[in-house]
Amino acid sequence: MNQRRNDGGGFRSSGPREMHKAKCSDCGKETEVPFVPDPDRPVYCRDCYQNHRPSRPQRY
């Protein structure tokens, strides 16, 4: 089996990223997020996330 090592470049983690299923708060579509969905926070699919970006830039 061929395994692709290229997952975007930069951050490389050991093992696959754990994905959690969630329902988009906007369109209702089922999506997967790389974090545990917080019931107090809306979760958006990739399409809707474009329209609901946080107003302040992300910090690391």
Residues that bind Zn ion (CB under 5 A): 24, 26-27, 29, 45, 48
Q: How far apart, in whole angstroms, are the C-alpha atoms of residue 36 and residue 38?
A: 6
What length does the chain have? 60
22 or 45: CB nearest Zn ion: 45
Q: How far is the CB of 45 from Zn ion (least distance, A)?
A: 4
**Residue 25: partners with Cβ closer than 8 Å, 6 or more residues away:** 42, 43, 44, 48
User: Of 22 and 24, which CB lies nearer to Zn ion in the complex structure?
Assistant: 24
The residue among 16 and 39 lying less far from Zn ion, judged by its C-beta, is 39
